[in-house]
Amino acid sequence: MLICEALPPELWQLVWDRLPLRVRVTTTKTSYEEHYHLLLPEIPRLGDYIIRLLRDSSTSYIFNMLLGIKQNEWACFGRWKHWNGNYAGTYDDYFAFLRHISRQNKNHKCLLALQEVNLTPRGEGRIRARNRPKHTKNKRQEW
């Protein structure tokens, strides 16, 4: 039995209203789904937070929520270079970097989510080398 079930509804509402948003978001799944977008600006280093999520397989639900929000933004990233810790190297894109972390930490749920993203079309903002327009020299027009 949860503590909230043991309290009368009036008292529970008083306690709930006084809890900080960060605590309320993490108490139940429904409150997380309602308020998770309010926590994103409070995360100072989102990249480090994502790596921590990928290291722990029990946080795959939170990672999937972030992936849904940031997927289009991450698809615009080009080559990804990471020089800190165990994951140092150059990757084809940010999703390849996240897949590498998932494989290394044996987080199969997040790896499956990342592979599904790989099957969907990428964002339009990314320009690969083969899609770039070729530069041509301006030829002088002769009169």
Q: What are 122-138's pLDDT values in tens digits? A: 544 444 444 445 555 55
Residue 57 lies in a domain: yes
Asked, for residue 12, whether it belongs to a domain, the answer is no
Domain assignment present for residue 37? The answer is no
Say how far apart CA 22 and CA 16 lie, in whole Å: 12
Determine the Cα–Cα distance for residues 53 and 67; give it in Å rounded to an integer.
11
Determine the pLDDT at residue 72: 85
The domain tally of the chain equals 1
Mean pLDDT, residues 25-35: 80
Task: Give the structural domain span for 59.
Answer: 44-122
**CB neighbours (10 Å) of residue 105?**
16
130 part of a folded domain: no
On whether residue 7 sits in a domain, the answer given is: no
Q: What is the mean pLDDT of residues 84-94?
A: 79
Return the DSSP state at 85. Answer: G
- Whose tokens are 């041509």? That residue is 136
In a domain, residue 36? The reply is no
Quick one: average pLDDT of 6-21?
Answer: 84
Task: Enter the pTM of the model.
Answer: 0.66
Residue 85 belongs to some domain of the structure: yes
Is 82 strand, coil or helix?
Answer: strand
Apex 55 CA angle, 62 and 81, nearest 5:
100
> What element of type H or E holds 95?
helix 94-104
What are the backbone angles phi and psi of residue 27, rounded to the nearest 5°? -80, -45
Per-residue pLDDT for 99 more than 80? yes
Whether residue 28 lies inside any domain: the answer is no
